[in-house]
């Protein structure tokens, strides 16, 4: 069944020490305040993964994820990190296809499809990001644009693989801007993503897949977004950098 997931994307923020403190705060507060059926994921800079995973190890609510990984198994790829490396730190998730990776590192749908397959083959859960620019939305092409991203990167997975993927819908115009999609805009896209999984796979596969919303989610707007029938959680950037804000979002579920 669809898991409730609140994932924090720290992006390129926090020194090791700051990251360790943040992770400890989240683990401690979550133990008392976050409902048992809400899963928290801390997606930290790669260099912090091992240290943060050793802090979250004792928690049954908090897991760790990377923000990216290579589509190659291993080899001469200076500066990259492999799926095996991510896994060996104790992390269990990996964000793939974040719009900042697509934009600044020219990641393509085909390359992301390879990354998703490799992550799944290693037992990592991909948090696959999709979402349109403002221009695409204003032209009325947002649904077809996102559908194309899913088709090109995910829809050649087997049903068994597909149901292990987590999808994050992150409209680019809402990321880090303070502008959030309205509940209707979020629900429309989440439903269309789920419908497209139903038509390419089946209702039972679609019923397994969590679809998270990302883009300026914060304590003040989380409750109404998370109340939408096809929203199964959030991918939180800015508001995940403060333990209190991150936990308040999880509590509003």
Q: Annotated active-site positions, please?
A: 98, 170
Residues 6+ apart with CB under 8 A from 145: 132, 136
Q: Which is nearer to ligand PGA, 56 or 67 (CB)?
A: 67
Distance, in Å, from the CA atom of 44 to the CA atom of 151, rounded to the nearest integer, reads: 28
Q: How far is the CB of 238 from ligand PGA (least distance, A)?
A: 4
Q: 63 near 29, Cβ under 8 Å? A: no
Q: Which is nearer to ligand PGA, 201 or 246 (CB)?
A: 246
| Identified binder of ligand PGA from the candidate list 107, 170, 230, 232, rule CB under 6 A | 170
Residues 6+ apart with CB under 8 A from 103: none
Q: How far is the CB of 202 from ligand PGA (least distance, A)?
A: 29
Question: Which H or E run contains 151?
Answer: helix 142-153
> Binding to ligand PGA by residue 175, rule CB under 6 A?
yes
Mark the segment that binds ligand PGA (CB under 6 A) among 102-110, 155-163, 210-218, 222-230: 210-218
Residues 6+ apart with CB under 8 A from 246: 6, 8, 26, 40, 236, 239, 240
- Per-residue binding string, ligand PGA, 4-43, x by CB under 6 A, is -----x----------------------------------
Binding site residues, ligand PGA, CB under 6 A: 9, 170, 175-176, 214-217, 235-239
């Amino acid at each position: 069944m669809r898991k409730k997931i609140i994932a924090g994307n720290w992006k390129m923020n926090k020194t090791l020490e700051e990251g360790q403190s943040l992770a400890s705060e989240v683990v401690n507060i979550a133990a008392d305040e976050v409902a048992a059926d809400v899963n928290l994921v801390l997606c930290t800079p790669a260099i912090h993964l091992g240290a943060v995973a050793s802090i979250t190890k004792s928690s049954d609510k908090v897991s760790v994820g990377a923000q990216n990984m290579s589509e190659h198994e291993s080899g001469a790829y200076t500066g990259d990190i492999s799926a095996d490396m991510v896994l060996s730190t104790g992390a269990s998730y990996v964000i793939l296809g974040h719009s900042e990776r697509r934009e600044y590192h020219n990641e393509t749908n085909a390359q992301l499809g390879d990354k998703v397959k490799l992550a799944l083959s290693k037992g990592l859960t991909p948090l696959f990001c999709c979402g349109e620019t403002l221009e695409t939305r204003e032209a009325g092409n947002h649904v077809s644009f996102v559908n194309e991203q899913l088709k090109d990167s995910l829809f050649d997975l087997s049903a068994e693989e597909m149901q292990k993927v987590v999808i994050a819908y992150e409209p680019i115009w809402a990321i880090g801007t303070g502008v959030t999609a309205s509940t209707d805009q979020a629900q429309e896209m989440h439903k269309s993503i789920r419908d497209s999984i139903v038509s390419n796979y089946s209702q039972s596969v679609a019923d397994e897949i969590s679809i998270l919303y990302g883009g300026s989610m914060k304590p003040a707007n989380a409750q109404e977004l998370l109340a939408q029938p096809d929203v199964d959680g959030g991918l939180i950037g800015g508001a995940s950098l403060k333990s209190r804000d991150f936990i308040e979002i999880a509590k509003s579920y």
